[in-house]
Amino acid sequence: MPARPATTWQIDIDGEAISAAFEPATAESTGTLYICAHGAGGHMADKAMLAATAALRSTGLDVVRFNFVYREKGLNRPDPMPRLEACVAAVTEHARAIVQPKRVILGGRSMGGRAASMLAAKGYACDGLLLLAYPLHPAEQPEKLRDGHLPKVAVPVLCFNGTRDTLCRQDLMLKTLEHLSALWTMHWLDGADHSFHVLKSSGRTDRDVLDEVAAATRAWLASRVMAEA
């Protein structure tokens, strides 16, 4: 069957339309669709989203990017979490009906990944979570952990965070991991910050980081998602 072409959609979210884009895998498709939500300060076509999804499409993932309602309106203040979760669910159902994938993975960058994880923790049907820069706590507020729902996630998880991420202190995430199941795979990106940028002095480039993300995702898909689906 030929690959489905890239296309854009308008999706109704409780009477308000949002934009979404479907992009096929650039390698042989695994039949797995990744619903990728943007971060609080971003949007579906920001530089970080485009770079990350391009890298992930090279692993055989088909990808859907979309705007949350507040961003579609041009607003900066994120919607309440229940509305973010509802938006992820609505986009997923729309994409399932059109693409009819073998498997669906939820996730996204920062806040978008958090919304997807909270939806999955409530039992929303998916085959895995792929989290990019999970925001374990607000910047400079490590006491406000966002981990209470994570033990309830019952699907395979691949989580990427940089070792310089100011929204995910490594020692605090390691403590959180002690309470999570073996379904959780944590991958630390050495020297990367919350945006997956690295310093020139690190000897690495941002491209190197995304190549690492792609390689780890490819291995995870083969060993944890497609093997168990």
User: Structure pTM?
Assistant: 0.96
Domain contains 153: yes
Tens of pLDDT, residue by residue over 17-65, are: 999 999 999 999 999 999 999 999 999 999 999 999 999 999 999 999 9
Q: Is residue 203 part of a domain?
A: yes
3-class SS of residue 138: coil
Is 11 within a domain?
yes
Provide the CATH number for the domain around residue 196: 3.40.50.1820
- Residue 2 inside a domain? The answer is no
How many domains does the chain contain in total?
Answer: 1
Q: Where are the alpha helices (DSSP H) in 126-184?
A: 170-177
Please give the C-alpha separations between residue 76 and each of 28, 73, 110, 112, 165, in angstroms, as whole numbers.
Answer: 37, 9, 15, 14, 22
Average pLDDT over residues 143-154: 97
The pairing of strands 128-132 and 157-162 is parallel
* Structural domain harbouring 141: 7-225
Q: Is the pLDDT of residue 97 over 80?
A: yes
Tell me the average pLDDT across 68-74: 97
Please provide residue 173's backbone torsions phi and psi, each rounded to the nearest 5 degrees. Answer: -65, -40
- Distance from C-alpha of 45 to C-alpha of 65, rounded to nearest angstrom: 8
Helices (H), the chain: 47-57, 69-72, 81-99, 111-121, 170-177, 206-220
